Structure formats: structure tokens, C-alpha cells
Amino acid sequence: MRKLTATLCLTIAILLESEVRGSDLPTCKDTIYEAETKTWDRCIGTWKYNFPKSESTAEYNGEWKNGERNGYGILILKISKSRLDKYEGEFKNGKRTGKGTYSFSNGDRYVGNFIDGEKIGRGEYTFANGDRYIGEFQGDKMHGEGIYIYATGRVYTGLFKEGNLLMKKDTKLNKK
């Protein structure tokens, strides 16, 4: 019965030429290992990949369109036994594009915008040591106007270029 309901929802969406998202999407057929997702379209599915000659793996669970990650999903990258990165957010044409959260295995975390897999636009990067950067990104680096807040309370407001602070105004954060 559930499969019939999911098929009916997809059929109605195609007829109305509307975008179906999230829980309205039917489940893709089975879990697919490696790279055979060509037939997955407008569905939610789980894809797993084992990198050749390595213990590294990738697992994605989320929305698919035209055989690629499109829409909302969660991508978990196991680089080694002790390194596990996770991205949760929007995808377009298989790449992180839109709003999302990337949690790094070292404890760092980025919340903001992505385009073609890179941090771009406004975002917030929190370092494992408690430091934070809130501002603009370009090419995966702090770039543009931003605020760097050290865990100690020291605050630098200024202009960043390719990850480096060019001009700054030093202030002390008031702790109440």
C-alpha cells in the first residue's frame, strides 16, 4: 500500500510539473553501492561507496533527481578509522550547494552557504579551540568583511582576503 501511495504522489507531481521534496518523495529502489544511481529520479535513497584500496567510505542519504544528489541530504565521509566528516544540507547536481552544516572530524564546524562544494557567501566557522569567524567566504576561505572572535574574548573586526586578516579593529568582548 505504501509503495502505491508513493508512486501516486510521484505521478501527481510529474503531471503537475511541481517540485516534490522531502517526505513527499517516494523511496528509491534499494540501497545502491558504488556509483549506479542513473535511474534514481525524484526519490529518497541511500548510496554507499567504498574507495578502492582504502578504508575510506562515503554514504549519502537524501533526495535524488536525474541520478544525482539534488535537494536535502546527509553525506558522511569516513576518511579513516579516526576521521569522520559530515555534511547536512542542500545539494545541487551532486555537489554541496545551498545552505548547510559541515562538521569536521577535528571538531571544527561551518554553518553557511556552499556553491559547487565550496564555502561561499555568509557563514560562521567555529574552530575546535572555541575561536569563531562570522563573515564572508570565497573559494573555501575567509574572504571579505568578517569578525574573528577568539575563545579568550578578543575580537577582530576587519577585512579578510584569502584567509588572512588585512585590516583590523581590535576590541575586547564584554563578558557579563
Whether 134 maps to a domain, the answer reads yes
Instruction: Give CA–CA dist 116/99, Å, rounded.
Output: 12
Q: Are 163 and 146 in contact (CB under 8 A)?
A: no
Is 98 part of any domain? no
> What's the predicted TM-score (pTM) here?
0.78
Residue at 175 is within a domain: yes
Checking if the pLDDT of 161 tops 60, the result is yes
Mean of the per-residue pLDDT values of the chain:
82
Q: Is the pLDDT of residue 167 over 80?
A: no
Predicted pLDDT at 20: 42
Q: How far is CA 118 from CA 31, 139, 166, in A?
A: 28, 6, 22
Number of domains in the chain: 1
Residue 167 structural domain: 106-176
d(CA 171, CA 43): 50
In a domain, 171, yes or no: yes
What's the pLDDT at 21?
A: 47
Residues 6+ away with beta carbon under 8 Å from 11: none
In a domain, 9, yes or no: no
